[in-house]
Amino acid sequence: MRARIAERVPAGETSVAARPQISEGVPVPGGRAPAGARLRRAAPPVAALAAAAILPPLLLDGVWNFTFTLALIMGLEGLSIVLVTGFVGQLSLMPATFVGVGAFASAALATRLDTPFWGAVPLAAMLTVPVALVIGAVSLRLKGLYLAIMTLVFADVGQEFLFKQQWFSGHGNTTDAPRPALAGIDFASDKSYYVLVLLIVAAFIFGVWNLSRSRTARACFAVRDNESAAQAMGVNIAKYKLLAFALHGFIAGFAGALFAHWQQSVSAGGQRPTFGLEASLTIVFLTILGGVRSIWGPFAGAAIWVILVQRLLAGSPNGQSIAFSVFGLLVLLTMMYRPAGLVGWLGDAARALRRRAGRVA
């Protein structure tokens, strides 16, 4: 009974560990702010989402819509890292494996079983959850470097025994993934598919934002900051770690399904495996650059990465290698000087400007 009561209120007022600090992008739940303050905080992201929905289809060509769709999908992949690393402090170096499982599962459901897009994508994401739970169960006994090595091992196993097997990835390790249609609306064009992905990503952002303000999130933050103190408070550490890995796998799998239908086919071949170690590190790096404890961080990092690779260095024969090197340097500088990432730095700058404006007034 005592443990159940303690778990219901994991963030007790007398515990420092149960009141962890987190970046501005993922607010710590507490007392409710006045309605006016909540509206003022909500206005900028809502305006940004509205602008993102309206301006690119109207003002930009199809190539830019294609590029921004990829940025949204990669940002969603990074959001899965926020849930497992930013929430409970577990390091996963295999997000691309979950992305690949979701991508091939959705493509197979759509082409082999004639499952509509609206059923294939969420079902593919749910099929990724058991894989993530296996990783999460093993991670309960590992931390730090050993956990990172374990996820790398599982990523290599997935590459060899899933993505290179025709029973899973299709003939020639390639499977078609058609874009959807709904009620007479065809999402085959890059502009319409961009709007569809934006709406789905907005729903995920809203869901994670609500989760970040819940008792569940407070328990996760306590586990992340101090496992011993959280356990002493009665928090079920295994439960919240497994929950974080399940959400990590689900969101990454959903992003992978969207990625497959964005490309209209999915393949695991080539010199650079689509779902290999380099892809996983890219997802982790862009999340760190934007802010691993911020909901908006992965999307900021993904926008920089995609614009760098798809547009600025698209004509270079070694563009992706150059971009990876530049990105690695940016991530190193971020970890050394701005651990909260770009979103945290922008938040600090905005608060400093407000304080300065207040002193002037």
Summarize the confidence of residues 86-98 as an average pLDDT. 90
- How confident is the model at residue 184, as a pLDDT? 75
For strand 185-186 and strand 181-182, is the pairing parallel, antiparallel, or unpaired? antiparallel
Asked if 294 and 24 count as a contact pair (C-beta separation under 8 A), the reply is yes
Are 299 and 75 within 8 A, CB to CB? yes
Name the pTM for this structure.
0.83
Q: Percent of the chain, pLDDT > 90? A: 34
- pLDDT at position 19: 41
Residue 284 identity: V
Which pLDDT score is estimated for 15?
41
What's residue 271's pLDDT?
A: 66
Q: Is the pLDDT of residue 341 over 50?
A: yes
- pLDDT averaged over the chain? 81
Whether 336 contacts 108, CB under 8 Å: no
Contact at 8 Å (CB) between 121 and 304?
no
Here the tokens at position 314 are: 């698209």
CA–CA gap between residue 159 and residue 95 (Å, rounded)? 12
pLDDT tens, 302-317? 998 888 877 777 666 6
Is residue 140 within 8 Å of residue 244, measured between CB atoms?
no
Model pLDDT for residues 226-274, shown as the tens digit of each residue: 888 988 888 899 999 999 999 999 999 999 999 999 999 888 776 677 8
Given this model, what pLDDT does residue 49 score? 64
Least confident of 1-10, 207-216, 226-235: 1-10
**Residue 270 has what pLDDT?**
66
Q: Is the predicted pLDDT of residue 173 greater than 80, yes or no?
A: no
Q: What is the mean pLDDT of residues 310-329?
A: 74
Tell me, what's the pLDDT at 40? 63
Q: Using one digit for the tens of pLDDT, what is the confidence trace for 135-153?
A: 889 888 877 788 888 888 8
What pLDDT does residue 42 have? 58
Helix 190-211 crosses helix 35-59 at what angle (to 10 degrees)?
Answer: 160
* Tokens standing for residue 213: 């303000």
Greater model confidence, 325 or 247? 247
Determine contact, residues 100/229, Cβ cutoff 8 Å.
no
**Of 14-28, 91-105, 134-148, 157-171, which has the strongest mean pLDDT?**
91-105
CA distance 140 to 147: 9
Q: Per-residue pLDDT for 27 more than 50?
A: no
Given a contact cutoff of 8 angstroms between Cβ atoms, the answer to whether 81 and 248 are in contact is yes
Residue 218: what pLDDT? 92
The pLDDT assigned to 331 comes to 85
